[in-house]
Amino acid sequence: MANPYAGEVTVVVDGVRHECKLTLGALAELEAGLQTGSLVDLVRRFEGAAFSGSDVLAVIVAGLRGGGWQGTAADLVRADIAGGPIGAARAAAMLLARAFALPED
């Protein structure tokens, strides 16, 4: 089960549960792969509900990779993500929120 205090989010891909998180390395990989803007721009797009499918895919891939998954975006093109596009968007938004949330005292 994902630990939200560690920034983890569970994503189910083709029926297999993955504990995802945006580690520093995953965030660097995500930023390098962004087609437009920076991580701050990406977060703003999610906050304003102006994100694209490629944004969602990039965040999910980064989170999976931060959790130890060895795949690529191409591996997810035909994969079934639990909850469909909306479930994937929710998971991506949660990953971003947990990655940048300040710890509570």
Which pLDDT score, from 0 to 100, does residue 1 have? Answer: 82
Q: Write down the pLDDT at residue 3.
A: 85
* Bridge pairing between strands 9-13 and 16-20: antiparallel
Q: What digits encode the pLDDT tens for the residues 30-58? A: 888 887 778 888 888 888 988 989 999 99
Which residues lie below 8 Å from residue 69, measured CB to CB, with a gap of 6+? 18, 20
pTM of the model: 0.89
Q: Residue 104 has what pLDDT?
A: 67
At 16, phi and psi to the nearest 5? -110, 125
Domain assignments of the chain as residue spans, ordered by start:
4-100
The confidence score (pLDDT) of residue 4 equals: 83
pLDDT block averages, 10 residues each, the chain of length 105: 87 96 91 81 88 92 95 91 95 92 66
